[in-house]
Structure 1
Amino acid sequence: MNPNTSAASAASAAQDSTVFRVLARIGYVVLGILHLLIGAIAISIATGGGGGDADQGGAMQQIQKSPAGVVMLWVIVLGLFALAIWQVAEAVIERDPDTKKKWGHRVKFVGTAFAYLAIAGTALTYALGGQSQSSQSSQSLSARLLAVPAGVVLLVLLGLIVAAIGIAFIVRGVTRAFKKHLDLPSGATRSGIVTFGVVGYIAKGIAVAVAGVLFVIAALTHDPETAGGLDSALRALAGLPFGTIILWTVGAGLVIYGLFCFARARYARM
């Protein structure tokens, strides 16, 4: 049997599975919960309440401390793993007649799958009783890159890629491109979901883009501690003029993105 045909058949079988589809939708619910927590922590930082790390690690730590936290963490692992596999399946069965667009879509699907797997890995660490700080991981990665030949170039490239991902989120929100992946209802519900999507995508894009800029700054200043991931990006916003207002707004936007993820779990085309 042709390997490509076999892979496509396996991908189609996975997407035809009701159980797998439900697990993937749970993955969107999980993303919603995480963004609600990250947004709430960011708002807490903006209002001077501290709140911990405003990133996936900080959100996982909050869940770990909650009643039935370990169970919730395992649900997060399963949901995000299923969602990652779903993205891989989408990449395999992508059928856009335009070759460039087809491979562009495939790269996006696979990249998204890796992002979901990375978050699932963080959840697994916490589910097993450990801890993982995203900021330290980012700083460690930056330090390792700066220690190798052409490390500055590599770190700048990484920062530009992360910043580009953030810009892509902003563009997706402004253009409402996310709508084509949803089977939206009519009326006020539709308008509300679209508004949440626009605000949420823009807020998340700003946070991710700033994280990318911090990687570039870390490379140019040879200071790996500058690159601290999402938490450092949000705290950097607080240091800007009117930073408290900006951080509060972005935090609120991340909360709204979390609510959008709940709607996405219900209305995503699967």
Structure 2
Amino acid sequence: MNAHVLGARGSATARKAANSKAVGYGARWGLAARGVLYILIGVLALQIALGDGGEQADRGGALATLSEQPFGSVMLWVVGIGLVGMALWRLSEAAFGAAGPDGGKASKRALSGARAVFYAFVAYSVLAFAAGESGSGSSDQQSQDVTSRALELPAGQWLVGLAGAGIVVAGVVVAARAAMRKYHKHLKRGEMSRGARRFTDVTGVGGGVARGAVFAVIGFFVARAAIQYDPDEAKGFDDALRTFADTPAGPWLLALIAAGLALFGVFSFAMARWRKV
């Protein structure tokens, strides 16, 4: 048997492993875990809009809120392990290609690799919190710390500016793709009822647009931190959300964005049920 045949069989075996039920279960568990975090962030942001916000409207605030619930410590571990599953799923996509006809493209695999790194970091932070570590501060402080270190690098001002512009573009793309319902290609729409499809569109469009808007605002302030050479101008998730309340629309816009983030959390549950993995 020649090396080409052996290589083809090895590749097929690897792809089969990547598409195994275990990876599929991990992906769906991870999507549901992401949904929990976004719903909590949305609720916290809504409380801020109503003038009753005691927690940061970011991942840290969501984890603190979750820990205070009955069986909160167990739920923290459940969410953290789910996010590990999400990271492993994205890693398998990076290594062997995602589901769909264009899942093997280099650009798709690179994006999956970046997502795997991101969710691995998020999973680590959640599991560390579950294990009793206090964490590294709010998302706002983390953003300022990272920006400060980046500005000290050679050509740091340019790097931070480009990063901010990239986040703005990513936010716009996220919102636009949600508005155009690009997620349809990832869903098992043939198995969904008309009501399920309508429900997924409401949560997917509303949630995706709100999520993209927050990312765009975060990117804007990162870029402004570069222009003004001031890391304190950078904002994390919580400060970016509070910025919406400072617009002429006032707290009502923040409430709308908060509802959108909660919708994205619900959409994540729908994806956990209907997404092709």
TM-score (norm 2): 0.89
Q: What do residues 62-91 of structure 1 show as CA deviations (whole Å, max 9, x unaligned)?
A: 112223222212212211111111112122
1:176 to 155, 173, 181: 181
1:151-230 paired onto structure 2 within 5 Å: 151-184=156-189, 185-230=192-237
Deviation at 1:251, TM superposition (A): 0.3
2:56 to 48, 53, 56: 53
What is the distance in 2 between the residues matched to 1:123 and 1:15? 26
Inter-CA distance 195–150: structure 2 relative to 1 (3 Å threshold): same
Q: What do residues 83-113 of structure 1 show as CA deviations (whole Å, max 9, x unaligned)?
A: 11111212223388889x8122112212222
2:265 to 238, 247, 258: 258
Corresponding residue for residue 14 of structure 2 = 10
CA contact (8 A) 2:26 2:89 kept: no
- Please state if 1:239 is matched with 2:243: no
Corresponding residue for residue 112 of structure 1 = 115
Deviation at 1:115, TM superposition (A): 2.2
What is the distance in 1 between the residues matched to 2:186 and 2:224? 35
Inter-CA distance 7–112: structure 2 relative to 1 (3 Å threshold): farther
**The residue matched to 1:52 in structure 2 has which SS?**
coil
Corresponding residue for residue 131 of structure 2 = 128
Inter-CA distance 48–181: structure 2 relative to 1 (3 Å threshold): same
Segments of structure 2 that go 5 or more residues without pairing to the other structure are: none
Inter-CA distance 172–97: structure 2 relative to 1 (3 Å threshold): closer
CA radius of gyration, larger in = 2
Moved over 4 A (4+): 1-8, 95-99
What is the distance in 1 between the residues matched to 2:9 and 2:39? 40
What is the distance in 1 between the residues matched to 2:59 and 2:145? 17
Segments of structure 1 that go 5 or more residues without pairing to the other structure are: none
CA contact (8 A) 2:42 2:259 kept: yes
Per mean C-alpha deviation after superposition, the further-off stretch among 173-182 and 108-117 is: 108-117
Aligned residues: 268
CA contact (8 A) 1:38 1:254 kept: yes
CA contact (8 A) 1:7 1:92 kept: no
Aligned-residue sequence identity (percent) comes to: 36
TM-score (norm 1): 0.91
Q: Which amino acid aligns with 2:26?
A: L
1:77-156 paired onto structure 2 within 5 Å: 77-94=80-97, 102-132=105-135, 133-156=138-161
